[in-house]
Amino acid sequence: MPDAPLPDAKSPAAKSPAASGKISIHCRVNGRDETLCDYPMARLLDTLREKLRLTGIKEGCGEGECGACSVELNGKLVNSCLIPIAQVEGAEIRTIEGVATQGQLNAVQQAFISYGGAQCGICTPGMVLAAVNLLEQNNHPTETEIRAALAGNLCRCTGYMKIFEAILRACDRTEVHS
């Protein structure tokens, strides 16, 4: 190995990003008022995971392709890796942690467990949220509509078949209960 010059401790050091430059953002997350303090261009994904410890949101690609980081922003499904927190002032955010209410699983979550919709589980939070979001807009989707609604959520394990089935079953259950 050629001698690597040791990193010089006395070199004119570039400053670490200063603590200043952060902004305070007020929003509602899973029904609770939150103040997020972070850099304006911090990714919503990181802020929710790191400041609020909402680690059900996953990073799969960091470029808005895979949907593992899906959250609901004002009722719309978005990739939280593409949202700077400066955009969420006053927003209503829902994550996978807000889908089961008072310990009661959403019909979609129950159906994912019963019908094999989750395998490795890494896409599952985003996938469940995408399905819940769909069913809240359209409680009797066709399989074609389900496919279109999930097109931004990639799953490498299931081949999607059991996910479609779980969502169709969840609709049946919703119907029975409503």
Partner 1 sequence: MRHPIIGESVPRKEGLAKVTGKAIYTDDVTFPDMLYGATVRSQIARGKIRAIHFDPAMPWDEFVVVTAKDIPGKNCITLLEDDQPCLAADIVNHPEEPIVLLAHKDKYLVEEARRSVRIEIDPLPAIFTMEDSLASKEVIWRTNNIFKSLSVDKGDVDAAWATADKIIEGEYETGAQEQLYIEPQGMIATANPNDGVTVWGSLQCPYYIHKALSALLGLPADKIRVVQLETGGGFGGKEEYPSMIAAHASLLAWKSGKPVKIVYDRAEDMAATTKRHPSRTRHRTAVTRDGKLLAMDIDFTLDGGAYLTLSPVVLSRGTIHAAGPYNCPNVRIRSRVAATNAPPHGAFRGFGAPQSVFALERQLDQVAKAVGLTPDEFRRRNFIRKGQTLAVGQIVHEEIDMSELLERALKLSDYNAKRERFARENPGRSVKRGIGFASFLHGAGFTGSGEEYLASIADVEATPEGRVRVYAASTEMGQGTNTIFSQIAADALGLDYADIEVMQPDTAQVPNSGPTVASRTCMIVGKLVETAAIGIKQSLQQHKFLQEGYDRQAFVAACRRYHDEVGPLRATSRYSPPPNIHWDEHLYRGDAYGAYGWAVYVAEVSVDTATYETRVEDFVAVQEVGRVINPVLAAGQVEGGVAQGIGFALYEKVVWQEGRMINNQMTNYIMPTSMDLPPIRVYFEELPYARGPAGAKGIGELPLDGTAPAIINAIENATGICIRRIPMTPEDLMAALEATREKAIA
Query: Smallest distance from the beta carbon of 64 to partner 1, in angstroms?
Result: 8
Q: How far is Cα 157 from Cα 155, in angstroms, rounded to an integer?
A: 6
Q: How far is Cα 20 from Cα 2, in angstroms, rounded to an integer?
A: 41
Exposure on the CB side of residue 161, measured as CA atoms within 13 A? 1
User: Of 19-27, 98-106, 133-141, 170-178, which segment contacts partner 1 by CB under 8 A?
Assistant: 98-106
User: Of 19-27, 82-90, 134-142, 145-153, which segment contacts partner 1 by CB under 8 A?
Assistant: 145-153
Whichever of 26 and 120 has its CB closer to partner 1, that residue is 120
Q: Does 158 bind partner 1 (CB under 8 A)?
A: yes
Measured distance between the N- and C-terminal CA atoms of the chain, rounded to whole angstroms: 71
Query: Smallest distance from the beta carbon of 62 to partner 1, in angstroms?
Result: 6
Tokens read off for 161: 């078949």
Q: Does 12 bind partner 1 (CB under 8 A)?
A: yes
Contact residue for partner 1 among 24, 74, 114, 142 (CB under 8 A): 114
Q: Does 138 bind partner 1 (CB under 8 A)?
A: no
Q: How far is Cα 152 from Cα 147, in angstroms, rounded to an integer?
A: 10
Please say whether the beta carbons of 117 and 162 come within 8 A. Answer: yes
> In this structure, are strands 23-29 and 92-94 parallel, antiparallel, or unpaired?
parallel
Stretch (H or E) spanning 34: strand 32-38
Q: Does 1 bind partner 1 (CB under 8 A)?
A: yes
Q: How far is Cα 169 from Cα 37, in angstroms, rounded to an integer?
A: 41
Query: Smallest distance from the beta carbon of 14 to partner 1, in angstroms?
Result: 5
Q: Does 164 bind partner 1 (CB under 8 A)?
A: yes
Whichever of 91 and 107 has its CB closer to partner 1, that residue is 107
Phi and psi torsions of 151, nearest 5°: -60, -20
Q: Which positions lie near partner 1, rule CB under 8 A?
A: 1-2, 4-5, 7-9, 11-17, 49, 54-63, 65-66, 68, 95-97, 99-100, 105, 109, 112-125, 128, 146-148, 150-151, 153-164
